[in-house]
Amino acid sequence: MTATARTDTKTVDWKVWVPGVITPIACFVVDYIMGEYVLGLAPAALLAFAAIGIASLVISRNWRQTAAGLVAVGPLWVVGGLTFVLGIPLAVVSSLLFSLVPTTGVLVAFMTWGLLGLTPLWTGLTYLGEARALTVDQVARHGRLKIALFGLAGGVTAVSLAIAAQALDSHFLAARVAALDQQAPEAWHARLQSLNAYPLCLRYRCRRHVCSHLYGQFGQDPSMLFTEGSDFPGEIGSAFRQAYGLSVSEACRPVI
């Protein structure tokens, strides 16, 4: 072991574990409760990146002397950089939220969401700081060439896994929604219930996809409220209400 290698990484450092593990999970939970404004865009990729980032941080703190410690360098740089970049627009939105003063009952929710909107910057900086420290440590142990090769392999693997997860998720969801066309109207309820059982449907995501599909299928303008009536079979409207607890017009109205 060289003089520059770190030996204290297994100590509990809350300045690392809070922004690196706790706040990413808290952000997803709050976004899920507030309406999936971020998570609903690409849940498979975002969750994959979060899991990879957390796993890489744990490896860096506990098993950095193994081959896994070499590979963790790449994912920490990738996830840290992406999280920081994502945090910039979220920080802007959070700042705007702080300027709003709604009723007292809603203010707490807005402030909570606003605070957690700022945390990706904190998380990103934490991952980048850990990536830099791990890189310096591994270069001291193994040299620049080896750490460059292993780090590159880890980074490429992290990106590939996230892209593959999101591609599979999007393909699966699109195929399930498109399959609704092949079902008789009276079979829609069972199909919608089956679709909603998919974990990454979250609370609103699959409903939004079904709404968009209905708009396209029945020639409605997505920018306008969907009007129930003779434009589509009544069985579909009934199945939709049973599955989501709302009428098509209530559930599919544009959300700001």
> DSSP letter at 221?
-
Query: Among residues 146, 170, 194, which one ends one of the domains?
Result: 170
Residue 5 falls within a domain, yes or no? no
Q: pLDDT of the chain along its 256 residues, tens only?
A: 443 444 445 556 888 999 999 988 988 888 888 778 788 888 999 999 999 999 999 999 999 888 889 899 999 999 999 999 988 887 777 667 666 655 545 555 555 555 666 788 899 999 999 999 999 999 998 899 999 999 999 999 999 999 999 999 999 999 998 888 787 877 888 888 888 889 999 888 888 888 888 877 766 554 454 444 445 677 888 888 888 888 877 777 765 4
Whole-number Å distance between alpha carbons of 65 and 77: 18
Residues 194 and 139 reside in one and the same domain: no
Residues 166 and 191 reside in one and the same domain: no
Residues 67 and 155 reside in one and the same domain: yes
Look up the domain containing 191 and give its range. 183-251
Residue 4 falls within a domain, yes or no? no
Q: Give the torsion sign (CA, 189, 195, 199, 205).
A: negative
Residue 63 falls within a domain, yes or no? yes
pTM above 0.75, yes or no: yes
Angle between helices 144-178 and 104-142 (to 10 degrees): 140
Residue 9 falls within a domain, yes or no? no
The domain total for the chain is 2
Non-local CB neighbours of 181 within 8 Å, separated by 6+ positions: 217
Residue 1 falls within a domain, yes or no? no
Query: Among residues 115, 149, 170, which one ends one of the domains?
Result: 170
Contact indicator for 111, 5 with CB cutoff of 8 Å: no
